[in-house]
Structures are given as C-alpha cells and as structure tokens.
Amino acid sequence: MSRPDLAAHWMPFTANRQYKQQPRLLVRAHGMHYWTDEGRQVLDGVAGLWCVNAGHGRSRITTAMAEQAAEMDYCPPFQMGHPKAFELATQLAALAPEPLRHVFFTNSGSESVDTALKMALAYHRARGEGQRTRLIGRERGYHGVNFGGLSVGGMVGNRKQFGAMVAGVDHLRHTHDLARNAFSVGQPAHGAELADDLERLVALHDASTIAAVIVEPMAGSTGVLVPPQGYLQRLREICDRHGILLIFDEVITGFGRTGQPFAAQTFGVTPDLMTLAKGLTNGAVPMGAVVASRAVHDAIMQAPPTNAIEFFHGYTYSAHPLACAAGLATLATYAEDGLLTRASAMGAAFAKAVHGLRDCPHVVDVRNVGLVAGIELAGREGAPGARAFDVFLDCFREGLLIRTTGDTIALSPPLIIEDAHIVQMADTVRRAIQRVA
Ligand code: PXG
Ligand code: PLP
C-alpha cells in the first residue's frame, strides 16, 4: 500500500518528527485487533485510546450510524431536539448512580470537563453563593486539554507551554506512593489521609470561596493510579461538610473499565457531577457527556424565569444525531454482551498476568483495577520516558499496541478480551521489557 504524504498533518500528542521518520499506520480494525498498512495484525492492548470497550467494528454500532446519517444528518441542538438525544439521555441517566439524573451532551472528554466546571460555578451562583469560584484539581490529574481542564489538571508536560491558565485554581496532592504501596493488587492500603489535603486548602482559601473539586476516581493518563482504600470516601465527606461539589472525571473509567458501569459504583462513592466520553460511543464517533445530580440541575433550572435560557453553554455538535445513534447502539451492545461488569469477571486473570511481570528488569510497580493496569519502569538516567517508549516500539513490532506515559506502561484492553489475549499481552510485554536495556 502506498503511503500518504505525512508533512501536513500536525499530529496531536505525538513526537511528530520521530513518527514521520518511522511512521506507524493502521488501516483496519476488527474485534481485538488492528491491521497495519503492511498487513500485520496487532492486538489492541489499549482499546484504541481507552475507548473501544466493546471491541472494534461492532456492526450494530456502525449500522446505526450509517442509517442515522442517511435519515437525518444534523439537527441544531439549540432550541431544537431530536428523539435519539432524549432516548440516550434517559438511558444514560438510568445507568448512572442516583441522584445523577440529567445529561448534557458534548463532543469530547475535554469539553465535558469544561462543561462540568461551568455547571459547578452556575450552581453556586443560582443558590446565591456566587463567591464560590475556586476550582480544585489534583497533582498528576488529567482533565483534557481545554483551558478549564488544563488548569485543574496536574501533568506538568501538558501545562508548562501554556502560561497562567484559569485563575483561582489550586491542587490537592497526588496519591502515588511507591514507598508504601508498590505492587498493590487492586486498591492500595495506604493514603486515605491524603484526602485531608482538601482541609488544608479549605483552611487556606475558606470553603466559601470553593466551588468544586475534580478528580479522576482512578487516574488514567498519568499512569494508572488506583485510589487508596477510603480516599474517595474521605474526599466526599470533606466536600459535603463544606458545601463543595465533587466532580468525578470518568472519561476513562466510565463504561465498565473498573468492573462496574462507572468507577463511582466500583469504589462506592457518588459524585455530584460525572464527566464521560470515550466508551460512550465505543470510540466510533466523538461524543462526551456530563451527568449532573438532581440538585445541581434543579438549582440551575429554578433560578431564571421559565422562558429564559438557564445555562448559557453548548456546542454546535452537542447531541449530534450520528453520535446519539452510536451511543444508543453502544449501550445496547454493552447490555447484550454483559460488558459493563465483564472487567470484574476477567479481573482476576488479568491481575495475575500483569502482576506476574513484577520480576522483569526495571519494573518498580504494577497497579491494577478491573481491566486496567499500569506497569511502572525505572526511568533511564537523564532520559525520562525513553525506556517505556522503547518498550512501546518493541511491542508494536511484535504485534501488540500498548500506551506509555512517562515510564509507565498502561494496558486497558477492550472488555471483550479472552484469556488467550491476556496471556499474549503479558508475554509480549515481558519479552519487550527484557529486550529493552
Ligand atoms: N478526562 C480524562 C480523565 C481523560 O482520560 C479527557 C478528560 C479528555 O478527553 P478528550 O476526549 O478530550 O481527549 C481524558 C482523555 C493517555 C491519554 O495518554 C488519555 C486521554 C487522552 C489522551 C491520551 O492515556 N484521555
Ligand atoms: N468559533 C466561531 C466563530 C463559531 O461561530 C462557533 C460556533 O458557532 C465556535 C467557534 C464554536 O464551535 P463549536 O460550537 O463547534 O464548539
């Protein structure tokens, strides 16, 4: 297959110059696999980019999209609606834990995060507490790349090029603790007290200035940090004590990744707002959503006169018909195949396989929950991330797609994974780590 000219496409989150020297092109996908332009089969160890939870090329989803495109390509989302938007919102609300019952559609995780932050500000203002404007994120958090999410995010590489960002933001400490928690299976035992960092920020800023705290219930992009036992419960309690909204960014953890439909259910803590994307359409077409509690929704609804717009926010492509059709077909696929709880059924075999890598050279930690794992390597002196990137390249040559962040390898396969794929993934990663010096 002849290769396209690579110069014009400025690739996102990519080492463009390195990539264009040695391009990796994918041209086809089905089930657990991709195929390269050279015809090589590659096992998908990351569900695309944490999004293809039901596996690739699900015909129910692709057919629904094609039919919708032919029937009605586009519907303006402001002051107009179409049936599938309401149907999808109803089904999502039913899947989410009580009292999360109202769904606002976006087109990505980044847009979901900025939407949720704006809802938090609007909620307090509607209740006469408009001075609550401060937003609290967490070190090592990833909340997308728009200015709101970037500001509450805590990954220095994503922040340092972009100036001062949104004002009035502060950060909790992260929960990663190799000294106490290395090689924990599931939730680590130590670190619930790190949630008390919120009390420190309350003491510094006063609760009356704080609108919301946003965290990933399990931090994905920074390298799979599973919440310490009791940590999220404690964060919830402190938020409640001070009237602060709690936002869970479930862009990665949503739709079965941790063993329940949402991490809120896996970890037994319910937020006031939940951000979603990725698995919402099985990655087939961009879509995100924010699911809001009744209290947040009702406060914003009740404030203005009934003929006025309540929330001055929305996107041209909010609730796009194609995305809604894909979302409905995706939820039907998840239900039919029992995928939203399959990570708990497969979790034990997966945990055994990934923790079996602890004796490989350079491995300093293995972390897991449901069907997600992080394998942290010691970085090379003066070259952070280089060792893991070499493992990534080696795995790809050997027919396995993984994801690396810093020196951590992340595995998050489609939830349709079978035992043989788990074995292949672990064996390929093991050989790659052994080969890479
Ligand atoms: N929140 C979280 C928790 C995410 O993981 C976003 C927001 C942003 O979503 P969009 O759709 O705007 O990309 C994400 C996205 C990685 C990686 O290296 C992870 C994401 C994106 C890019 C890379 O693991 N997650
Ligand atoms: N920029 C301009 C000039 C626009 O008119 C719009 C939307 O109408 C936007 C940006 C925002 O685009 P979107 O609604 O797709 O986020």
Has residue 2 been placed in a domain?
Answer: no
Q: What is the pLDDT of residues 71-112, one digit of tens each?
A: 999 999 999 999 999 999 999 999 999 999 999 999 999 999
403-405 sheet: strands from edge to edge:
363-369, 372-377, 408-411, 403-405
Nearest to 267 by CA among 216, 293, 232, 237: 232
**Whose alpha carbon is nearest atom 7 of ligand 2?**
316
Q: At what angle do helices 386-397 and 419-435 cross, to 10 degrees?
A: 130
Q: If 0-12 CB within 10 Å is exposed, 13-18 middle and 19+ buried, where does residue 69 land?
A: middle
Give the SS3 label for residue 126: helix
Has residue 9 been placed in a domain?
Answer: no
pLDDT of res. 175: 98
Q: What is the pLDDT of residues 282-341, one digit of tens each?
A: 999 999 999 999 999 999 999 888 899 999 999 999 999 999 999 999 999 999 999 999
Q: Tell me the ligand closest to 116's alpha carbon.
A: 1
Residue with tokens 């708990």: 344
Q: What is the pLDDT of residues 238-268, one digit of tens each?
A: 999 999 999 999 999 999 999 999 999 999 9
Has residue 4 been placed in a domain?
Answer: no
The CA radius of gyration of the chain, in Å to the nearest whole number, is 21
Asked if 179 and 288 sit in the same domain, the reply is: yes
pLDDT of res. 384: 95
Among 277, 302, 337, identify where a domain stops: 337
Q: What is the pLDDT of residues 122-151, one digit of tens each?
A: 999 999 999 999 999 999 999 999 999 999
Asked if 20 and 75 sit in the same domain, the reply is: no
Among 280, 307, 337, identify where a domain stops: 337
Nearest ligand 2 atom to the CA of 318 is 14
Interval between CA 314 and ligand 2 midpoint (Å)? 10
Q: Which CATH number goes with the domain that contains 175?
A: 3.40.640.10
Asked if 121 and 245 sit in the same domain, the reply is: yes
Interval between CA 111 and ligand 2 midpoint (Å)? 13
Nearest to 46 by CA among 302, 351, 395, 332: 395
DSSP line for 179-248? HHHTT-SSS-SS-GGGGGHHHHHHHHH-GGGEEEEEE-SSB-TTT-BPPPTTHHHHHHHHHHHHT-EEEE
Asked if 48 and 149 sit in the same domain, the reply is: no
Range of the domain at 353: 16-58+339-435
Instruction: Please state, in angstroms and rounded to a whole number, the distance separating the CA atoms of residues 331 and 255.
Output: 9
Has residue 10 been placed in a domain?
Answer: no
Q: Tell me the ligand closest to 153's alpha carbon.
A: 1
Instruction: Please state, in angstroms and rounded to a whole number, the distance separating the CA atoms of residues 372 and 225.
Output: 10
Asked if 28 and 128 sit in the same domain, the reply is: no
Instruction: Please state, in angstroms and rounded to a whole number, the distance separating the CA atoms of residues 371 and 349.
Output: 10
| N residues, the chain | 437
Tally the domains of the chain.
2
Please list the residues that pair with 276 across neighbouring strands.
Answer: 289
Task: Determine the residue of 147, 252, 257 to mutate for testing ligand 1's pocket, defined as the one with the most ligand atoms within 8 A of the Cβ atom.
Answer: 252
Asked if 281 and 422 sit in the same domain, the reply is: no
The finding on whether 317 has its CB within 6 A of some atom of ligand 2 is yes
Q: Tell me the ligand closest to 47's alpha carbon.
A: 1
Among 337, 366, 397, identify where a domain stops: 337
The finding on whether 315 has its CB within 6 A of some atom of ligand 2 is yes
Q: What is the pLDDT of residues 205-228, one digit of tens each?
A: 999 999 999 999 999 999 999 999
Asked if 251 and 129 sit in the same domain, the reply is: yes
The finding on whether 316 has its CB within 6 A of some atom of ligand 2 is yes
Task: Determine the residue of 118, 287, 316 to mutate for testing ligand 2's pocket, defined as the one with the most ligand atoms within 8 A of the Cβ atom.
Answer: 316
Banded pLDDT at 1 (limits 50, 70, 90): low
Interval between CA 251 and ligand 1 midpoint (Å)? 7
The finding on whether 389 has its CB within 6 A of some atom of ligand 2 is no
Asked if 175 and 89 sit in the same domain, the reply is: yes
Average pLDDT, the chain: 97
Residue 395 CA: distances (Å) to CA of 12, 14, 356, 402: 21, 18, 17, 7
Q: What is the pLDDT of residues 366-414, one digit of tens each?
A: 999 999 999 999 999 999 999 999 999 999 999 999 999 999 999 999 9
**pLDDT > 90: percent of the chain:** 98
Asked if 371 and 240 sit in the same domain, the reply is: no
Has residue 117 been placed in a domain?
Answer: yes
The structure's pTM equals 0.97
Asked if 162 and 198 sit in the same domain, the reply is: yes
SS3 letters across 77-89: CCCCCCHHHHHHH
- Name the E strands within 59-191: 100-106, 134-138, 169-172
pLDDT of res. 38: 95
Asked if 72 and 50 sit in the same domain, the reply is: no
Has residue 3 been placed in a domain?
Answer: no
Interval between CA 315 and ligand 2 midpoint (Å)? 7
